[in-house]
Amino acid sequence: MSTETQNVPVSPEDSQLAEIFKTEANEAFKKQDFNSAIDLYTKAIEKNPNVAIYYSNRSFAYIKTECFGYALADASKSIELDKSYIKGYYRRATAHMSLGKFKEALKDCEYVTKVRPNDKDARMKYSECNKIVKKMAFEKAIAVDDNKKCIADSINLDAMTIEDEYIGPKLEDNKITLQFMKDLMKFYENQGKLHRKYAYMILLDIKTYFMKQPSLIDIPIGDDDKFTICGDIHGQFYDLMNIFDLNGLPSETNPYLFNGDFVDRGSFSVECIFTLFGFKLLYPNHFFMSRGNHESATMNQMYGFDGEVKAKYTAQMAELFTEVYNWLPLAHCLNKRVLVMHGGLFSRDDVTLDEIRQLERNRQPPEDGPMCELLWSDPQPQPGRAASKRGVGCQFGPDVTRAFLELNGLDYVVRSHEVKDDGYEVAHDGKCITVFSAPNYCDTMGNLGAFINLKGKDMIPKFTTYMAEPHPDVKPMAYANALSSFLC
């Protein structure tokens, strides 16, 4: 029995229309209007579903919008239509890598090097991917030893001296003060680098703090007290500073919750994370941080944070960050009325707040289950559930949101995780709110950023939006490894 894909009969008129749609889609892609490009590639595919390049191009647009599950399916379809179509293998490798599936990516890279043995770019990508696979295999082998010493225990602060020429902010009696934070932010705005000793001290202190916290944090808010929720920051430090300019510095009377994805993509991630960790240590009961899907080793390896920490500090510190991120809380419940998590809801109907509270979080995010879904899931407009466009987590409809809220006695949920043109979106009959705080995401998307203010009495969300701030000429993904060229 033949395994060849059978072409669908297509009229000359439809074939011509498909090419017109593809050309328009390519123009939209060049303008970085990726959603329009996806719509136009889809129209091309509807007119002529036999052309590999339509699927491959749509796969690339899906990669740009972080819909890695859809990207994977399209790349595989392009290969199914044309076994010799090299770009299809590259797209599939990219989708696999974006999901942390480096072994699968390696197979596609290996195929390309066999077909194009003289292609230097193909060999480089294969080599980089192979390095990661070998590194992961090594780490898995040594992880079998349950007594493996953690990085935090190996840090010797006494051996680190503060050089006379260091002119940056200094901790007072090894404690963070408001003045230290003000000095640090100003120092960062002028592209200074916090001394490694203070950086390590902050990381060790914040790890100790987070280790004592539950996976779900309950936050009381007084009737007349203001509370602010921010979404993804993604290493956009100068936009973070703008949030504080617009809404005031964090304090005991101006509490904040930052809802994950503090790092990656933006090339000022180190500055963002130390600013946020600093405020958390300064105001532990009035400044909160949730884990996002980018607070993980594979995402950091792929999207720049790992490389940035190694460039600005050391590989040891990059490993310490991974340990710290493993202890970040997974969700916050405000006044027992609003649940805030980075991603979204669940593939099961019976998940309770108590179950979230008891989740074992000290690990890398699993590929399924409640912890994965808290970090990765997305809402959809239609009822029910669907496979995730990202290839991880699930998509959940308004009926799923309503049932979850009723089960747990909540008013609505707030999540982040998705770029929105206006910086926020109210969906599911007002019961599911998305907030995204990185304007002009990756210097390309043109979106506004937003944050939410609410008061304890009524918990009604009010939105503030803002445009992107200028920043020094360091491009997004500047510190990403060689594999990031797959994403370009």
Do residues 483 and 202 touch, judged by C-beta distance below 8 A? no
Taking only the tens of pLDDT, the chain with its 488 residues reads 334 456 889 999 999 999 999 999 999 999 989 999 999 999 999 999 999 999 999 999 999 888 999 999 999 999 999 998 988 998 999 899 888 888 899 999 899 899 888 888 888 888 888 888 887 777 666 665 545 678 999 999 999 999 999 999 999 889 999 999 999 999 999 999 999 999 999 999 999 999 999 999 999 999 999 999 999 999 999 999 999 999 999 999 999 999 999 999 999 999 999 999 999 999 999 999 999 999 999 899 889 999 999 999 999 999 999 999 999 999 999 999 999 999 999 999 999 999 999 999 999 999 999 999 999 999 999 999 999 999 999 999 999 999 999 999 999 999 999 999 999 999 999 999 999 999 999 998 999 999 999 999 999 999 999 999 999 999 999 998 665 555 54
- Residue 40: inside a domain: yes
- Residue 404: inside a domain: yes
Per-residue tokens: 390 = 């990202």
Asked if 115 and 164 sit in the same domain, the reply is: no
Query: Long-range contact list for 11-16, CB < 8 A, 24+ apart?
Result: 14/47, 14/48, 15/47, 15/48
Asked if 114 and 166 sit in the same domain, the reply is: no
CATH classification of the domain holding 51 = 1.25.40.10
CB neighbour list of residue 120: distance below 8 Å, 6 or more residues apart: none
Asked if 163 and 138 sit in the same domain, the reply is: no
- Name the nearest CA neighbour of 150 among 305, 27, 320, 290: 320
What integer pLDDT is reported at residue 126 of this predicted model? 86
**Ordered alpha helix ranges (H), 237-314:** 237-247, 269-282, 297-303, 305-312
DSSP 252: T
Per-residue tokens: 38 = 């996806």
- AA letter at 356: I
Asked if 124 and 179 sit in the same domain, the reply is: no
Burial 172-189 (b: 16+ CB within 10 A, else e): eeeebeeebbeebbebbe
What integer pLDDT is reported at residue 3 of this predicted model? 43
Do residues 308 and 474 touch, judged by C-beta distance below 8 A? no
Measured CA angle at 388 (ends 383, 392), to 5 deg: 140
Say whether 294 is catalytic. Answer: yes
Asked if 185 and 63 sit in the same domain, the reply is: no
CB neighbour list of residue 276: distance below 8 Å, 6 or more residues apart: 233, 240, 258, 262, 289
Do residues 197 and 169 touch, judged by C-beta distance below 8 A? no
Asked if 86 and 226 sit in the same domain, the reply is: no
For residue 204, count other CB atoms closer than 10 A to its CB.
Answer: 18
The domain containing residue 115 runs over which residues? Answer: 12-142
- Residue 353: inside a domain: yes
How far is the C-alpha of 296 from the C-alpha of 51, rounded, in Å?
A: 37
Q: What is the pTM of this model?
A: 0.93
**Edge-to-edge strand ranges of the sheet holding 338-341:** 216-219, 331-334, 338-341, 412-415, 432-435, 424-427
Domain end call among 142, 175, 209: 142
Q: Which helix (H) or strand (E) holds 35?
A: helix 34-47
What integer pLDDT is reported at residue 465 of this predicted model? 98
- Residue 1: inside a domain: no
- Residue 264: inside a domain: yes
Asked if 180 and 111 sit in the same domain, the reply is: no
Asked if 118 and 250 sit in the same domain, the reply is: no
Number of domains in the chain: 2
Per-residue tokens: 43 = 């129209």
Asked if 136 and 172 sit in the same domain, the reply is: no
Q: What is the DSSP string of 172-239?
A: BTTB--HHHHHHHHHHHHTT----HHHHHHHHHHHHHHHHTS-SEEEE---TT-EEEEE-B-TT-HHH
Of 294, 332, 417, 428, the catalytic one is: 294
CA distances from 51 to 103, 220, 438 (A): 28, 56, 36
- Residue 149: inside a domain: no
Domain end call among 142, 166, 183: 142
- Residue 162: inside a domain: yes
Asked if 114 and 197 sit in the same domain, the reply is: no
Asked if 426 and 305 sit in the same domain, the reply is: yes
What integer pLDDT is reported at residue 143 of this predicted model? 60
The three-class DSSP label of residue 269 is helix
Phi then psi for 340, rounded to 5 degrees?
-120, 125
What integer pLDDT is reported at residue 56 of this predicted model? 95
What integer pLDDT is reported at residue 32 of this predicted model? 86
Domain end call among 98, 119, 142: 142
- Residue 79: inside a domain: yes
Asked if 328 and 465 sit in the same domain, the reply is: yes
Burial 367-393 (b: 16+ CB within 10 A, else e): eeebbbbbbbbbbbeeeebeebbbbbb
CATH classification of the domain holding 359 = 3.60.21.10
